[in-house]
């Protein structure tokens, strides 16, 4: 993956507007967080291949990281801490945020076809 280029990503997000889109949204601090540090909590969530439709999409820069918000008819999709991007299989937009050790902390991925499950 490479560092996010905001204008490019905004263009790509716009291409998904008003279409049926498969989404992968995830955040994690790893399965061993509280094993390694007993004061830490294990926190994580992911949803994969939910089919959604949004009518507005925006990516915003805040210091070194980016946030993305997708406005649906009756709700929102949101991800914070994004830093890197890639187009996978010519059509899937992968956005992710990594820590200093290269570990994934958050990801938001959009595609018109389902992700492998």
24 binds another protein (CB under 8 A): yes
Token pair for 21: 């889109």
**CB-based contacts of 62, cutoff 8 Å, min separation 6:** none
For another protein, the binding residue among 46, 55, 60, 64 (CB under 8 A) is 46
Cα(50)–Cα(78) distance, integer angstroms: 14
Please answer whether residues 57 and 14 qualify as being in contact, where contact means their C-beta atoms are separated by less than 8 angstroms: yes
For another protein, the binding residue among 52, 68, 94, 110 (CB under 8 A) is 94
Cα(68)–Cα(57) distance, integer angstroms: 7
115 binds another protein (CB under 8 A): yes
Nearer to another protein, 10 or 27 (CB): 27
Q: H/E element holding 61?
A: strand 54-62
For another protein, the binding residue among 8, 35, 53, 61 (CB under 8 A) is 35
Nearer to another protein, 75 or 102 (CB): 102
22 binds another protein (CB under 8 A): no
48-87 footprint of another protein as x/- string (CB under 8 A): ------------------------------------x-x-
Question: At closest approach, how far in Å is the CB of 70 from another protein?
Answer: 18
Cα(23)–Cα(55) distance, integer angstroms: 15
């Amino acid at each position: 993956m490479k560092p996010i280029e905001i204008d490019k990503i905004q263009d790509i997000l716009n291409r998904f507007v008003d279409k049926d889109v498969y989404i992968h949204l995830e955040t994690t601090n790893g399965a061993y967080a509280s094993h390694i540090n007993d004061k830490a909590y294990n926190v994580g969530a992911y949803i994969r291949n939910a089919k959604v439709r949004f009518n507005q999409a925006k990516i915003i820069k805040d210091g070194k990281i980016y946030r993305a918000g997708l406005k649906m008819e009756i709700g929102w999709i949101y991800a914070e801490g994004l830093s890197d991007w890639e187009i996978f299989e010519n059509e899937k937009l992968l956005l992710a945020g990594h820590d200093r050790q290269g570990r994934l902390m958050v990801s938001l991925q959009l595609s018109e076809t389902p992700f492998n499950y």
